[in-house]
Structure 1
Amino acid sequence: MMDDASKSLVSHKIKTADEIAKLIGARPRAKKVVMCHGTFDIVHPGHVRHLLYAKSKGDLLVASLTADAHIAKANFRPFVPQELRAFNLAALEVVDFVVIDHLPTPIENIKVIKPDYFAKGYEYVKGGLPPRTADEKTAVESYGGEILFTPGDIVYSSSHIIETEPPAIATEKLLSLLQAEKLSFDSLKEAAGKLKDIRVHVIGDTIVDSYTHTVLIGGMTKTPTMSVRFENRKDFVGGAGIVAKHLRAAGAKVTYSTVLGNDKLAEFALDDLKEAGVECVPIIDPTRPTTNKNAIIAGGYNLLKVDTLDNRSISERVVETLKSQVEETPADIVVFSDFRHGMFNRDTIPGLTAAIPKDAFRVADSQVASRWGNILEFQGFDLITPNEREARFALGDQDSVVRPLGLELYKQAHCKTLILKLGERGLMTFRSIPEEEQDVRAFFAVDTFAERIVDAVGSGDALLAYAALSLFSTGSSVIASVLGSLAAAVECEHEGNVPVRPKDVIDKLERFERFANYA
């Protein structure tokens, strides 16, 4: 684990190109310098052989690695963040210096460091010299250096290793991120305890999620019809309703504006929200049903889902009532929780957005990937939390890898913080950086903390609630992303929509803290 003690043993090796140039001196040198460059996402035997061969050709070995911002050759890359990759290389005895290259190619750092030899792997020369390698060769030879190629008898692929079975390094990556941001586990615990009494107004679609449990007793011989025996049915308030309940469970004072039908499910939802401590101000529309999504389950498998809903747009009268509620409800945070069941569309969103009080912190989540809707309709918000599919839907982009995809969505949404949910891969956060803090990373990844997935539905709602509260209270997108991810992991480990409490989040965090401190 990269605690402060172990980091201090190797941190002296991690330098800038200018620092290395000053330490090794100008050419000609008494000691020959060899430089390697690569991603080094996972340091595998092929990398070790490459580095050992390179070091054998000189006295000092400089390992240069590509910064995260310039890695786009595969999805969800890099798997290991740049600070941790630098630490891994610096921990190798064969490596004398490590530099994180913040430019797209190593050309400029080659010109600064001026290594006597620049070592490339065999795969870069097999079948002809690629254009980038030719450019590197020109740069090295411009001052009298040489390019050399290491033997290629064994070739490994970091991407192949990661795709086959990603290493479980969530704790190490979390430690690296916290250290880079000068945060700690105590910082996260303290933040989780500061979510009380924040005034939040949630506006969104209520969904009653039902789980009908059955037992399979056979199938008909003449038609493909399953026969099941009913056992029980459980109903949970979901959609924007569970967002409101998560916020209330975290300690916020929650007002909830929604549209319901005039039916028993509406009564159930109102009673459930009242019991949870949420102040609900519903608009009853007798022309539509309360949205219900009923999963038919047999032997732990979902056989079928029956949806009862009406996705047509709410009336102008209802829109005006909602706008008045948004304008008149005192709130520190306003959350638009859009499931595209009639409340939010291209006609209603501009007016509802304009009604948000001027000083309120604005949050939007639009879970619309399977319907006609677009997270980009929520412009200029403080926080948005789409998943990868919703991002691709919004941009009409099925090809880009995740980082450039998220960056483009971040730019087009004109938001301050974007948390891109990646399911079992965790999340990637994009944020605005003040000019005076250009050394702070504009994006970062957090791996999932889920250890036992029972029901992943609703995890994004827990993330939204805790990320919004912690980002508002601390101003830290790192704290918001980590606490949001922890809350999502807790929600994943229960069937149905169960409100996540700060104690649940802290318990999960302390479990990973024990992993980090096991040594």
Structure 2
Amino acid sequence: MGVHMKHRLAEIIPDFKDKKILVIGDIMLDKFVLGEVKRLSQEAPVQIVDVKEEYCLPGGAANVAANLAALGAKITLFGLAGPDEGKNQLFDELKRRGISTSKVIISKNRPTTIKTRVIVQNYQLLRMDKEDKCKIDNSTEKRIMVGILKKIKETDAVVISDYNKGAITESLSIKIIDLCKKHNKPIVVDPKPENISFYKGTYLIKPNVKDITSLMKSVPKTEEELENIGRKMVFTLNSNILITRGENGMSLFEKNGNISHIPTEAKEVFDIVGAGDTVTATLALAIAAKATLYEATIMANYAAGIVVGKFGTSTVSQNELISLFEKGNKKIKDISELKEIVKELKLNGRKVVWTNGCFDILHAGHTKYLQEARRLGDALILGLNTDASIRRIKGKNRPIIPENERAEMLSAIECVDYVIFFDEDTPLNVIKSIMPNIIVKGGDYKVEDVVGKDVVEKQGGEVIIIPLKGEISTTKIINNIINNHFNAK
């Protein structure tokens, strides 16, 4: 991607704020059960999972809404839920993200759709689905359309998220498409292959390569075969088509005849759950912000690259996208950026670990310590004393390494997720602002002396001391250099 395109995408992102998006589709609750397996059951030849943690996140169309909210949009969500505890948990998660549930219809005859994933050592061991896939009746369809009619004029774009759980019928989709054409509103559709014919004439349809295989009853083996399929779909459905291809990126087929193959931007794939929802949300919001279809696809591809590097059903923030398109170190953040990042991490059930220090003359003891700290949670934030702060603490001859160089070296360590400078003698103000789940310090500290202990523990967090390993230290390195290299002369 060239410099001009990066600049253009960075310009578009601020326009995401307050765009109004209608999301219509199959909402669900994603449950995650995390545990360990150390033994087999005596009752049957199955593994026993020792459960360590459980949490819930919005799923399906609700995850599309969550992604849109994380990117700054205002969402009206239409879908179905049952009168059960699953609905309560889902509504709580949506409200935490600022998403209204007023247009979600509570159906007495169906449960809230729940997908429960059992995760052992970062691998999905089992998935259990609770659902009723019966199509909605005419009265429910009318209630949805009444709500859409009230909102359509003020809407910037519409998303249909079809998981084939019954919320979208052919007659409902036809009515939505006709209404959007009347009011010139773009529709982005994430379809199930069995329903793809419902969406003729929409602005963009986004199947994945598995959907294409299901539709065509064969796997496209070459790029030429894929292009022939894409052209046929554009003609048959009278829509732009974006085929997402996993590790092979995306292929965009436009009605004007343009074809673009875009390689993946994922550097490390940790979890693909919800990545398609992130793509759908980013596409719709970029289109609402007047991006071209190609620009929207490039941006969605980058968003997918971010989210697959996270665990579970995750979202992407504006700051994360902007950091990809602007110059500078992506890990070094200011307090406003970091507060948003921590907020999103916590919304997605992640544990945030904090540590801080001078890290002047980085050495092996530092890296081992940081690796252990990172293993205690899902993201490690490192507070770094500025040069002025170190001079006040350690004297006028320190630091040896300037703050920007120290930050760059620490950012290059894989286990460090974010770095933030603090100019005070202690990081208390930063800790109060971001409120990590865990504060980590080295073995030369006592728990009661750790800055921020009372603040974090009051919010249910904890302080952990990591024992020092070996006798290496920055001071000893400096003394060794002086004694063996200067005094020796």
TM-score by length of 2: 0.62
Tell whether the 8 Å contact from 1:375 to 1:394 is kept in structure 2 after alignment. Answer: no
Q: How does 1:33-432 map onto structure 2 within 5 Å?
A: 174-175=1-2, 183-220=4-41, 223-280=44-101, 281-329=103-151, 330-356=154-180, 358-368=182-192, 373-399=194-220, 401-415=225-239, 417-432=240-255
Structure whose alpha-carbon radius of gyration is higher? 1
> 1:487 maps to what in 2?
303
* Over 6 Å off, 4+ runs: 511-514
Kindly state the Cα deviation for residue 499 of structure 1 after the two structures are TM-superposed. Answer: 2.5
> For 1:411 and 1:418, how far apart are their aligned partners in 2?
10
Aligned equivalents of 1:326, 1:240: Cα separation in 2: 16
Q: Quick one: structure 1 residues 512 and 444, their matched pair in 2 at CA, closer, same or farther if it must change by over 3 Å? A: farther
Residues 376/397 of structure 1: CA separation in 2 closer, same or farther (3 Å cut)? farther
The 1-side partners of 2:263 and 2:18 are apart by: 30
Shift of 1:301: 2.1
Q: Is the 8 A contact 1:456 1:492 kept in 2?
A: yes
Partner letter of residue 502 of structure 1? Q
1:498 maps to 2:314:
yes
The alpha-carbon deviation at position 222 of structure 1 amounts to 7.1
Task: State the alpha-carbon separation in 2 of the partners of residues 448 and 511 from structure 1.
Answer: 21
User: In structure 1, what is the Cα distance between the partners aligned to 2:136 and 2:284?
Assistant: 27
User: Number of paired residues?
Assistant: 324
Partner Cα distance (1:485, 1:339) in 2: 21
Contact 2:158 2:284 (8 Å CA) reproduced = no
Q: Counterparts of 2:190 and 2:293 in 1: how far apart (Å)? A: 20
Gaps of 5+ in 1: 1-173, 434-440, 515-519
Match of 1:451 among 258, 262, 267: 267
Query: What RMSD in Å do the two structures reach over aligned CA positions?
Result: 2.3
- Pair 307,216 (structure 1): closer, same or farther in 2 beyond 3 Å: same
1:513 shift after superposition: 11
Is contact 2:25–2:78 with CA below 8 Å preserved after alignment?
Answer: yes
1:511 Cα offset (Å): 7.4
**Helix, strand or coil: the match of 1:391?**
helix
Q: Is the 8 A contact 1:327 1:356 kept in 2?
A: no
Letter in 2 for 1:409: M
Q: Identity over the aligned pairs, expressed in percent?
A: 24
CA 1:455/1:485 → structure 2, altered by over 3 Å: closer, same or farther?
same
Q: Deviations over 1:132-164 (max 9, x none)?
A: xxxxxxxxxxxxxxxxxxxxxxxxxxxxxxxxx
Corresponding letter in the other structure for 1:207 = M
Residue 486 to residue 197, structure 1, CA distance change in 2 (3 Å): same
SS of 2:271's equivalent in the other structure is coil
Q: In structure 2, what is the Cα distance between the partners aligned to 1:356 and 1:471?
A: 15
- Determine helix, strand or coil for the equivalent of 1:279: coil
C-alpha displacement at 1:357, in angstroms?
6.3
Please, which runs of 5 or more residues in structure 2 have no aligned partner? 331-489
SS in 2 for 1:256: strand
Tell me by how many angstroms 1:399 deviates.
4.6
2:117–2:126 CA contact under 8 A, matched in 1: yes
Cα distance change, pair 229–367 in 1 and its aligned pair in 2 (3 A): farther
- With over 3 angstroms needed to count, the CA separation of the structure-2 counterparts of 1:444 and 1:467, relative to structure 1, is same
1:367 Cα shift? 4.6
In 2 relative to 1, CA 298–219 (structure 1 residues): closer, same or farther, beyond 3 Å?
same
Report the Cα offset of residue 428 of structure 1: 0.8
Cα 1:490–1:480 shift into 2, 3 Å: same
1:320 and 1:298, CA in 2 relative to 1: closer, same or farther beyond 3 A? same
How far residue 265 of structure 1 moved from its aligned partner, in angstroms, is: 1.5
Cα–Cα, structure 1 residues 239 and 326, in superposed 2: closer, same or farther, change >3 Å?
same
- The 2-side partners of 1:223 and 1:264 are apart by 31
Q: How far apart are the structure 2 equivalents of 1:336 and 1:279?
A: 17
